[in-house]
A and B are shown apart, each in its own frame.
Chain A
Amino acid sequence: MRIVLSLAALLALSGCGSSDIWGWYVVNPMTASGWTNIKFLVNGMGATILLSVIAASISIVLGLLVALPGLSERRGIRAINRFYVEIVRAIPLLPMLFWVFYGLPIVFKSMGLSIQIDPFWGAIITLALSDSAFTAEIYRAGIQSIAKGQAEAAKTVGLNYFQTMRYVVLPQAIRRILPPLANQFIYIVKMSAFASVIGMQELTRRANELVVTEYRPLEIYSLLIVEYLVLVLIISAGVRWLERKMGSDERG
């Protein structure tokens, strides 16, 4: 954190000189136009956060649904999980985003459905899908780390599959699942920048738009990076807090 701040200060200071590289006036909070520009950039924060939170929430549920067949004893059912994970994990985010935003509406139309996909939901669907392959693997590893005897004991006291998961396996697995899952949230936040290319007004899109009008890419993208840094560092602190809390609660 300290390093980041000093770096920012250093960059800012160098801009105060007569250097012709930096033109910090474009985001100078002391001037009216600079302040307007800052507000314009930072106002993308809400969209980035909303995008990430909704996509992550969907991914957390979807990932579990994908993980469960992967834990089956039957090969055919496990194959469903492998197929999904291998395919989805292999598709780069940007092509998937184009496919969902430009391609999927055509599929819907051919099926006689009039479903429009706006940039917001296009980005959310793509981020959630792409991330779900990873969360599925996190769930699978976490659940598999719980000894088989636990599920067996649950069976012998009459619990069915879902009760066994709900009351016995998941509460134990969650300690191992939550930290990497929270980590995955950082990935989503960063990947949400891709939403800018389909016109979603989040942090990166706004920076792009401002660059076009102000023609000051160095300063504006520097500020953009700082915005993501602040966001991710806050989440990181949350993840570490979570890990400590989970770790201290771990009992044999």
Chain B
Amino acid sequence: MTQDAIEMIDVDKWFGDFQVLKGINLNVKPGDRVVICGPSGSGKSTVVRCINRLEAHQKGVIKIGGVVQDGSAAALEAIRSEVGMVFQQFNLFPHLSVMENLVLGPMKARGMTRKDAEVRAMKYLERVRIPEQALKRPSQLSGGQQQRVAIARSLCMEPKVMLFDEPTSALDPEMISEVLDVIVELAEEGMTMVVVTHEMGFARKVADQMVFMDKGEIVETGTPEDFFNAPKSERTQAFLKQILQH
């Protein structure tokens, strides 16, 4: 039996008195491509942020590559070496060039030499198809390009799992596909990923597990065929009806 890449068992989380996650159970096996959707405020971003411990959960168990996430240094180390993250707002470092954005982690956290880190950075910039932008500042790039740089920055740490938190929500419509194409390619190469998104066409194409969340709960999970063609829950039906109308 292979080790689950991510395992969430009965996870609860509160922000003050407000419970954002209620009994979340989620298993992601190596190579799985999980897409989480749901209305805003449903807790889908929080799930992703708990997986890499940008937020701490209060109850339940989260394991990354079999390591229980308890906030200890060793557990954090496991996350930082295995899990990459792409944010809605890109969060590139504006004071650094694209290249410096990419080599910072490998050099400072992994102790790579500049030369090795730059070779690796160029490899991933080519992968996201913007090697010619290496010396520019993030602010000189379009939103789509910035998000592709952010993906490359994550890949430079060579994670086993990639988390995407609404990677196209802050983009102009004409730039969405260039970012999604890169993510689809990664999926085809076998990268394990958890994607929070409203892009249902993309979800249909890459997901092998759909997760629908509402009010802090996982309402329904299933294959894309079942999920889109025969949603079981009424809430899922209502959500899909709304989102697919457009």
- The judgment on whether A and B are partners is yes
Chain A interfacial positions (CB closer than 8 Å to B): 147, 149-150, 152-160, 163, 167-168, 171-172, 251-252
Cβ–Cβ contact A159 & B108, under 8 A: yes
A251 to B94, CA, bound (A): 7
* A149 in contact with B80 (CB, 8 Å): no
| B46 CB-CB contact with A under 8 Å | no
Chain B residues with Cβ below 8 Å from A152 are 54, 87, 91
B109 A158 Cβ-Cβ under 8 A: yes
Q: For A175, give the chain B residue with the smallest CB separation.
A: B95
Closest residue on chain B to residue A171 by CB atoms: B95
| Highest count of chain B CB atoms <10 Å: which of A147, A157, A172 | A157
Residue B197, interface by CB 8 Å: no
- If A156-B85, A158-B81, A158-B157 are given as contacts, then 4 extra A-B residue pairs at C-beta distance below 8 Å, sorted by A number, are A147-B91, A153-B150, A155-B54, A251-B139
- Contacts A163-B109, A167-B104, A167-B108 given; indicate if A156 touches B52 (C-beta within 8 A): yes
User: Is B110's CB under 8 angstroms from A158's CB?
Assistant: yes
- Once A149-B87, A167-B108, A251-B139 are accepted as A-B contacts, the answer to whether A156 and B95 lie under 8 Å apart by CB is no
**Interchain Cβ contacts under 8 Å between A and B, 6 examples:** A154-B104, A155-B54, A158-B81, A158-B109, A158-B157, A172-B93
Tell me if B211 counts as interface (CB < 8 A to partner A): no
Judge whether B80 and A158 touch: CB under 8 Å.
Answer: yes
Q: Which among A153, A158, A159, A251 is the interface contact of B87 at CB below 8 angstroms?
A: A153
A167 to B154, CA, bound (A): 17
Closest to A166 in B: B108
B156 contacts which chain A residues (CB < 8 A)?
A: 157
The answer on a CB contact under 8 Å between A156 and B94 is: no
Q: Which residues of A contact B94 (CB under 8 A)?
A: 172, 251-252
A152-B55 Cα distance, complex, nearest whole Å: 10
Find residues 32-71 in chain B having any chain A CB closer than 8 Å to their own CB: 52, 54
By a CB distance below 8 angstroms, the chain B residues around A251 are 94-95, 137, 139
Q: Is A153's CB under 8 angstroms from B93's CB?
A: yes
CA distance A152 to B94 in the complex (A): 14
In angstroms, Cα B102 to Cα A158, docked, is 12
Docked CA distance A138–B230 (Å): 58
CA distance A150 to B87 in the complex (A): 10
**Cα distance, A163 to B109, chains bound together (Å):** 9
Whether B157 contacts A157 by the Cβ 8 Å rule is yes
Chain B nearest CB, measured from A156 CB (Å): 4
A158 to B84, CA, bound (A): 9
Q: Collect the chain B residues with CB atoms within 8 Å of residue A157's CB.
A: 104-105, 109, 153-154, 156-157
- 5 closest A-B pairs by beta carbon, nearest first, are A158-B109, A157-B105, A153-B91, A252-B139, A149-B91
Listed residue (B81, B89, B91, B139) with the most chain A CB atoms within 10 angstroms of its CB: B91
Question: Measured between alpha carbons, how far is A147 from B52 in the docked complex, in Å?
Answer: 19
Q: Across the interface, do A159 and B105 meet the contact criterion of CB distance under 8 Å?
A: yes
- Shortest CB-to-CB span from A174 to chain B, Å, is 9
A176 CB to nearest chain B CB (Å): 12
Task: Identify A156's interface contact among B80, B89, B138, B139, CB under 8 A.
Answer: B80
Q: Is B92 an interface residue (CB 8 A)?
A: yes
Report the minimal beta-carbon distance from A155 to chain B, rounded to whole angstroms: 7
Q: Which residues of A contact B150 (CB under 8 A)?
A: 153
Q: Which of A158, A171, A172, A251 has the most CB of B within 10 A?
A: A158
Report the nearest B residue to A150, measured CB to CB: B91
Q: How far is the CA of A156 from the CA of B104 in the complex (A)?
A: 11
Could you say which residues of chain A place their CB within 8 Å of the CB of B54?
A: 152, 155-156
